[in-house]
Chains A and B, each alone.
Chain A
């Protein structure tokens, strides 16, 4: 990778780190609030896997939800802000290739997602000590899933021309996909129709596979989940690279 790529990555990391209160601390606190409320209400009523309390079950879901939402938010908000304020021109004028552009925004989004996820994990450990049965699976799902949503954030940031459009993308696609993905429950507890619908939600596989890394138990086979996550990552990456190569909505 060129020095230009390193600089763009550094710039993107510095951008979110300079406002870490908003980009890291706030989502960690939000996830903690979810944990406190849901575990207080449901912990005595729900047990999903043998030997795993509801609060313990909830933590990996919240961690992954935070990873996904923040990876998406990082690339999409950086791009839409740069486009609307016009400073995207500083990235378009230098001799950066579309692949370097993609990788720098993707890597920064993944780092933010993973930093927030780690933050959520650390603060929730105090409430629910966790075991890690399969660390490699856990890391694989964290990386692939943050990559999928980071890539999707690039697509949304490039496509959107107004903050409204990005908000619509976030509210009508990302939020339902993450909330209806088994963060708070096992899909086996759902009625047949919603059980079937959940199986078409790729985020479900990301969370389920991630959870398998902790507990060694999951709603579907982890190999299947890994295949879905990897397939989504390749599809989103291919789409994003194709859009950037064409200069879609960036180089008119």
Chain B
């Protein structure tokens, strides 16, 4: 299998900061890959270098084997990018916008595909409307459509669901998943970690321009050896003075533990203090817990 994206020793220096400090990364063809990190971690810089919007200070980046600088035409033909910012050209209708974007990639008679993309994104009823007349969610859909006009094998979505309602989010993920099943490589950055957990097979976490974790989503989740119990308790819990219990809303408490013996000890202590357990829910740590721990400790 070939690398859809290959990044070697990528460095990006700005006068006031170094946004990327030697990033190495490979995303294989057909993967649904997550790129996570706090604000300012370097995700957008990395994407911008891959897309040719930013030039690296050192290192190399390639899309489907084509260098993004020396073979930029081949690289860009194989890449579709949904930018983070909600941008549009106010002079044109949705259909004009997509036809123009298609033309930039040398595709003249592309209406069948454009109609299919608009259909999947529920844009067909708005095709003849000016971009200015669309809601924010609809503009976001057009951005996604623009990234797909040339059927790129690699699609990068930079926080595509920021400020987007639930129905669009679901429709978008359904469409993107279907593209992934057809063989398109998907790279996603998002601050909604539950989305990344549900969609991505592999995840890289960036912090201060460095990759601090790179593994399959399953392995990353398995790193979280902590469990969390949420208990609804009746009785004077505060007076009982039980260590490790933290308030979590009215009558609810949280207890984090690694071994079940710790939970057994907690329940025994509660019984001793005549505190009744009315409800108990157990959960493994999710990607958010893993993310927070990795970011805090690296």
Contacts and interface: CB of A to CB of B under 8 A. Distances in A.
B104 A87 contact: no
A93 B108 contact: no
Given A247-B55, A251-B55, A252-B54, A91 B91 contact: no
Interface string A1-26: 01110111011001100110000000
A251 B53 contact: yes
B294 to A, nearest CB: 29
Contacts of A86: 83, 85, 87
A94 B104 CA distance: 6
A160 to B, nearest CB: 18
B201 interface: no
Nearest to A96: B104
Interface in A35-62: none
A8 B108 CA distance: 13
A162 to B, nearest CB: 17
B52 A90 contact: no
Contact of A7 (B52, B74, B76, B100): B100
A95 interface: yes
Contacts of B89: 82, 85, 87, 90
A33 to B, nearest CB: 28
Nearest to B89: A87
Interface string B231-272: 000000000000000000000000000000000000000000
A18 B93 CA distance: 11
Contacts of B101: 90, 94
Contacts of B223: none
A95 B73 contact: yes
A227 interface: no
Contacts of A82: 89
Contacts of B40: none
Please classify how large the interface on chain B is, using the bins under 10, 10 to 19, 20 to 34, 35 or more.
20 to 34
Contacts of B83: 86, 89
Main secondary structure of the interface of A (DSSP, over half): helix
Interface string B100-144: 111111111000000000000000000000000000000000000
Contacts of B106: 2-4, 95
B88 interface: yes
Interface string A86-111: 11011111111100000000000000
B91 A15 contact: yes
A3 B103 contact: yes
Given A90-B146, A95-B106, 20 more contacts: A4-B104, A7-B103, A10-B100, A11-B103, A15-B91, A82-B89, A85-B89, A86-B83, A86-B87, A89-B85, A90-B100, A90-B104, A91-B104, A93-B76, A93-B79, A94-B104, A97-B73, A251-B55, A252-B53, A252-B54
21 contacts: A2-B106, A3-B107, A7-B102, A7-B103, A8-B104, A82-B89, A87-B89, A89-B83, A90-B87, A90-B104, A92-B53, A93-B76, A93-B81, A94-B104, A95-B74, A95-B77, A95-B104, A97-B73, A247-B55, A252-B53, A252-B54
Interface of B: 48, 51-55, 72-74, 76-77, 79, 81, 83, 85, 87-92, 96, 100-108, 146
Closest CB pairs A-B (n = 4): A7-B103, A94-B104, A86-B87, A95-B73
